[in-house]
Amino acid sequence: MGIFPAVQADSANAAPASTKLPFYRVLWVQVLVAIALAVVLGYVDPARAIAMKPLGDAFIRVISMIISLIIFCTVVTGIAGMENLKKVGRIGGLALIYFEVVSTIALLIGLLVGNIVHPGANFNVNVSTLDAKAVADYAGQAKAQSVTEFLMHIIPTTVVDAFAKGDILEVVFVALLFGFALSAAGARAAPLVEIINSLTNVVFDVTRILMKFAPVGAFGAMAYTVGKFGLASLGPLVKLIATFWLTSALFVVLVLGAIAWAASFSIFRFLAYIKEEILLVLAVSSSEIAIPNLMAKLEKLGCSKSLVGLVVPTGFTFNTDGTSLYMTMAALFVAQATNTHLTLTQQLTILAVAVLTSKGASGVQGASFIALVATLSVIPTIPVAGMALILGIDRFLSMFRALVNMIGNGVATLVLARWEGELEADMLRRNLTRPVEVAG
């Protein structure tokens, strides 16, 4: 198995053969139809399509409201049930190293593509003519954090505050403390662990109920996007959009594909396995929406609950591959469009700052844009007002930005599970060819 430990196949972990559902009850089919109808409505009747926005917003909110609870329960029960706490530290350390290496590669690729393709060339934008007010709200929220500030941000003001804000990293921090405490308490804490286990099952049942409304949410979000911005808005910036979409696709196929190949599974089979989540993320432009289903599917593939609970939530903060691709490429676009020459030192400075500002910029719409404003602020020669150029098409960029973030975290979890010896290669390949269909 090369660098990945061999394990015995566990039939209990193998994905059960799926019951054949009528095609109209399969979730990904329903979502795909909803997206197609939304595009048609957005093109034919933009005003009515824009009015569909609350459907998408409502779906995002109902899923977001239980994400913190899912993460807390999964991490706590996973650690409490883990006999060797050293494994928790080992998995966490390996995960952070993996995240940093892959996201830095993404930053470098974005910088390289921006220098080769020059997506902002020939724009010759006069900065004084730009609407700086459009970026003002984002600039007010943007602040380049120091390492110390970033680490302090992990600690919530109160335990309740972590859940109230829905900050994934803060929830993980609280869950780790509770998990370690319950593990140390041993048999004395067994009744509480059992209660949290039962709560976990109930929360995932709630998720399954909510996912039945995924086609409605996807319809509302996509209808709003097409109706509000329209296909015509892509014209002047089509080169940037096409370059980013193509770079994102190649990153998934080549970079993540090579990582998956090293871990003995096919990236294409994995993409087919999570097709429902892919369509949802594309429709609503948010990677967090996929967290509950992604965690459940990774466990069905054979990954332990504790590993999934540690890697997936932290990955959505630290393993932001799509955001990394976007930040360096968009920074170069703004500089090129405003005829701002950047030296190699300045480009490397952007890269270094983006390593930190890209963390925590996944999932929520607009967070990556704010992080990019914070990154550009360290290079005074780049006019931040130039961000107004891409503000109108950011929704189209965020589709693939969020998608790459989600896929990257799924791949990372499988790689670390293989590294830890939890997954046997043949079992993983078998399970990927027998995805469990989710009824809509």
Best-predicted range by mean pLDDT (39-48, 67-76, 149-158, 362-371): 39-48
Rounded to 5°, the CA angle 56-58-61 comes to: 110
Is pLDDT above 80 for 406? yes
Domain assignment of residue 221, yes or no: yes
Q: Per-residue confidence at 10, pLDDT binned at 50, 70, 90?
A: very low
Residue 240, C-beta contacts closer than 8 angstroms, at least 6 positions apart: 119, 120, 329, 330, 333, 390, 393, 397
Mean pLDDT on 54-58 = 86
SS3 content of the chain, % helix, strand, coil (to 5): 75, 0, 25
Q: Return d(Cα 79, Cα 15) in angstroms, integer.
A: 23
Tell me the residue type at 121. Answer: A
Best-predicted range by mean pLDDT (254-263, 274-283, 374-383): 254-263
Is pLDDT above 90 for 391? no
pLDDT for residue 112: 94
pLDDT for residue 415: 94
Q: Which residue range is the domain that position 199 belongs to?
A: 23-432
Is pLDDT above 60 for 285? yes
pLDDT for residue 1: 44
Q: Per-residue confidence at 4, pLDDT binned at 50, 70, 90?
A: low
Adjacent-strand bridge partners of 439: 26
Q: Return d(Cα 327, Cα 350) in angstroms, integer.
A: 9
pLDDT for residue 165: 74
pLDDT for residue 15: 43
Q: Return d(Cα 143, Cα 151) in angstroms, integer.
A: 15
Q: Return d(Cα 361, Cα 325) in angstroms, integer.
A: 12
pLDDT for residue 367: 66
Q: Which two tokens stand for residue 221?
A: 């979000």
Q: How many CA atoms lie within 13 A of 400 on its CB side?
A: 21
pLDDT for residue 149: 66
Mean pLDDT on 381-393 = 74
Is there a contact between 390 and 334 (Cβ–Cβ < 8 Å)? Answer: yes
pLDDT for residue 308: 87
Q: How many domains does the chain have?
A: 1
pLDDT for residue 82: 66
Q: Which two tokens stand for residue 205?
A: 């049942």
The DSSP string of 390-409 is: HHTTHHHHHHHHHHHHHHHH
Q: Which CATH number goes with the domain that contains 144?
A: 1.10.3860.10
pLDDT for residue 234: 60
Angle between helices 291-300 and 394-419 (to 10 degrees): 30
Q: Return d(Cα 252, Cα 249) in angstroms, integer.
A: 5
Position of tokens 């080169």?
239
Domain assignment of residue 391, yes or no: yes
pLDDT for residue 116: 93
Domain assignment of residue 104, yes or no: yes
Mean pLDDT on 389-402 = 80
Is pLDDT above 50 for 17? no
The DSSP string of 126-177 is: -GGGS-THHHHHHHHH-----HHHHHHHTS-SSHHHHHHHT-HHHHHHHHHH
Is there a contact between 325 and 401 (Cβ–Cβ < 8 Å)? Answer: yes
Domain assignment of residue 13, yes or no: no
pLDDT for residue 307: 86
CA distances 331 to 55, 139, 148, 347, 373, Å, are 33, 15, 25, 9, 9
For residue 26, give the 3-state DSSP assignment.
strand
CA-based nearest residue to 271, from 288, 290, 284: 290
Domain assignment of residue 14, yes or no: no
Mean pLDDT on 303-326 = 85
pLDDT for residue 283: 84
Q: Per-residue confidence at 84, pLDDT binned at 50, 70, 90?
A: low
Mean pLDDT on 373-380 = 74
CA-based nearest residue to 295, from 20, 33, 71: 71
Tell me the residue type at 131. Answer: D
Domain assignment of residue 238, yes or no: yes
Q: Which two tokens stand for residue 118?
A: 């020059």
Is there a contact between 224 and 399 (Cβ–Cβ < 8 Å)? Answer: no
pLDDT for residue 25: 73
pLDDT for residue 16: 46
Domain assignment of residue 4, yes or no: no
Is pLDDT above 80 for 297? yes
Q: Per-residue confidence at 9, pLDDT binned at 50, 70, 90?
A: very low
Mean pLDDT on 376-403 = 78
CA-based nearest residue to 182, from 72, 96, 314, 93: 72
Q: Return d(Cα 409, Cα 371) in angstroms, integer.
A: 20
Mean pLDDT on 105-116 = 94
Q: Per-residue confidence at 318, pLDDT binned at 50, 70, 90?
A: confident
* Average per-residue pLDDT for the chain: 80
Per the model's pLDDT, the better-predicted residue between 427 and 150 turns out to be 427
